[in-house]
Structure 1
């Protein structure tokens, strides 16, 4: 009896992050950054040549090795973890103090450094150590920029859902050490939630590591989190292992403008607590937001008030899902007290999100606070009404209650205290991210941390008893 003829099976390769589908039905996905992850051109910098004590002549950045009015007498620029270990061992044995440098985008964060003899430029450690797209894991060196990492992951339609300011200059290590935040945190969590492993060089040159390079890893203590937000005072981050995810197929941004933050509160909370979770819900207030709202209103035959605030809602998923989310968002805005709204895609939405990071020229005073999401609107309103500044620019992430406020003008101690009082009255915690150097001598930019400060002091004593790494820069002038 003739056997039944069997049709050969076809093996279909599955795209990471997408279901197994027929090649005929699969639609190619062109990598684009999230609308919140807009790119920024790195600033042009001048270079000089200086001989490093641990190696041959290196080309180093002249800009911003000065910190809090102190210029270091020694500059190290390691290219490997072994170079970094040797440099820190030498600095430690010489009884000097070192400050770690990445792209320099957040060096203004922290208290005034007590001693500063050597600058350690980490940008030479800028390579991908391990990348396994099917496992959704990447291991990168700390000196790699966020933009460079994003470009490598984008080749496989993958991403790290973290949006740093100035991604062309901001490094992985610097973003972690300063605990940078962005709009995507409301949906995906902070950048520390994606860290599954980390390698560290301690103040005396000892090389350590914690975690691993697999997602399901529960071995040992999660020591990596000690270094996230520590401003490089406990050790130098050398490599970081991240869990990553797929790039959404379609992205849209709905921009609405209101006459006040109070008016935006109803729509903002309805969308945040609605039937679906947006990529981001961000409120922007200040003169620049009002100007952008007027521009969008004029393009769409509408009108915006002189003190308008903007609500940006980022949506990302498959085509049908995004279309439904856009319709639901528009319906919510239509029932709120909005003066107008528009749906943007492609470069137009990137332009809208660039307003979130608009800080040119450099602000004279910046604070970051965390409050309940419902209180974020009231805090934005209180900070916007201050007449002590020439200009204000306030960004509130509604999904997790972080409010960043930037001010231009003459800054005094009284002005700083009034901003701190506004945050305290809103029931939040306040950190001064930028202020004149002379004011840092009179205050702790981290505020009063209470009992946890004793634990932090003991940690510093264990990891860096001689105060080699950024002494005085962390909370309590640790």
Structure 2
């Protein structure tokens, strides 16, 4: 008897899997950009994942992997969605050798849980993407997500030594560390990082870890204008000091962040969060010399967040704007990248393009990395002026050798605009890799660059 007559058909090989969930109530709220899955697979083992992909490939059943869901807004609208594969059952630490500063973990483990395991041995993974306490390792790697501390520690491509991947036909392949050397002539570890799960489903990752710093603080400074804040950040970057993070927040985000960490609202407009890590004496010196530099550029030191307060401060920043009362279906989050010298012009261009839109907006600058995050809230459906502004921002960043990526956008915008922008000269290589690893185009179809 068919217990779910209203649900679309799935191949017999998928229907026979014991881990398949087709209950409409369980599928409620799991749509990806309007595409509702026909079934949900809750993976518990690597072999189970391989079997699911093998059967999906036979029946040309499209698959989208999912972890905690913090990055599901990334990417274009999928061409189709048959199966949503919940990876959180793969959550073990496979191998950890503290003396070698390496750890291998399954992709469904949350970064917060992995950090707890490492902290017990005085170590950590220097990674702080959005929602870093709950985001899963696989989702972070698939999106190449990073955070403020990329300034000193780098990104995932600097940390990942190797990985185990299940390809579209169900084959289990290993690349990089802890495996047979890759002889294709192409570094496939870096190829899978940031590929949004379109080449294969990442099952395990081996990473380099670091000793926990003796001390970590956030030095909080305020400035009347973004120009003075950027001048201060430039001086910090060219000094003998080594800031671990440099985030410049506009008045909107400054007020929201202060509220979340329990700081009183300041009189100045723009807020700078400066991360310092290191030995006790070194951090003391950096705080002292950093304060002198801030004051010299017309800023004011509002205080410091130390130890647990620093952790709370960075976590609060990683989870904004979800602390705010906003409708995520009407939210645009754009990531503008550009040469570091153009940071001031990027702020002016964002303000020029969004000033007359009549919606709330906020922006922040990753001042040491040349990245601006711009947000628009309560975006009305079909607003042509919004489209023109986004197109203008994309044209501006492109003219300076950068790009605009829409990490989050309403469905009506995604249906009219490629969230990744121009793919560039590398598109031919991306397409060749896709044909090699997923010729049936069953993995995250259409969601990546160039509709891959």
TM-score range, shorter chain: 0.7 to 0.9
Matched with 2:432 is 458
CA contact 2:175–2:181 (8 Å) conserved in 1: no
Matched with 2:421 is 447
Offset of 1:436 from its aligned partner? 1.2
Select which of 219, 239, 253 maps to 1:274.
239
Q: 1 CA distance for matches of 2:404 and 2:172? A: 34
**CA 1:119 to 1:303, structure 2 compared with 1: closer, same or farther past 3 Å?**
closer
Q: 2 CA distance for matches of 1:331 and 1:258? A: 14
Matched with 2:335 is 368
Matched with 1:264 is 229
Matched with 1:471 is 445
Pairing 1:248–2:210 present: no
Matched with 1:333 is 294
Offset of 1:355 from its aligned partner? 3.2
Offset of 1:128 from its aligned partner? 0.4
CA contact 1:378–1:426 (8 Å) conserved in 2: no
**CA 1:417 to 1:56, structure 2 compared with 1: closer, same or farther past 3 Å?**
closer
Matched with 1:428 is 402
**1:295-334 map, 5 Å:** 304-305=267-268, 308-334=269-295
SS in 2 for 1:226: helix
Aligned residues: 422
Matched with 2:161 is 196
**CA 1:389 to 1:164, structure 2 compared with 1: closer, same or farther past 3 Å?**
farther
Matched with 1:179 is 144
Select which of 127, 131, 135 maps to 1:170.
135
Offset of 1:343 from its aligned partner? 2.5
Matched with 1:403 is 372
CA contact 1:115–1:471 (8 Å) conserved in 2: yes
TM-score, with normalisation over the residues of structure 1? 0.82
Q: 1 CA distance for matches of 2:80 and 2:259? A: 48
Q: After superposition, what is the alpha-carbon deviation per residue over 1:142-182, rounded to whole angstroms, capped at 9, x for unaligned?
A: 11111010110010010000002223331101011111120
Select which of 47, 54, 58 maps to 1:89.
54
Pairing 1:223–2:223 present: no
Query: Which segments of 5 or more consecutive residues in structure 1 lack a partner in the other structure?
Result: 1-50
CA contact 2:247–2:364 (8 Å) conserved in 1: yes
Q: 1 CA distance for matches of 2:398 and 2:221? A: 29
Matched with 1:55 is 18
* Bigger mean CA deviation after superposition, 367-376 or 152-161: 367-376
SS in 1 for 2:139: helix
Q: 2 CA distance for matches of 1:279 and 1:185? A: 8
SS in 2 for 1:248: coil
Structural RMSD (CA): 2.6
Q: 1 CA distance for matches of 2:132 and 2:16? A: 30
Q: 2 CA distance for matches of 1:212 and 1:340? A: 45
Query: Which segments of 5 or more consecutive residues in structure 2 lack a partner in the other structure?
Result: 1-13
Select which of 166, 170, 173 maps to 1:208.
173
**CA 1:382 to 1:309, structure 2 compared with 1: closer, same or farther past 3 Å?**
farther
Pairing 1:66–2:31 present: yes
CA contact 1:138–1:242 (8 Å) conserved in 2: yes
Q: 2 CA distance for matches of 1:160 and 1:298? A: 28
Offset of 1:399 from its aligned partner? 1.9
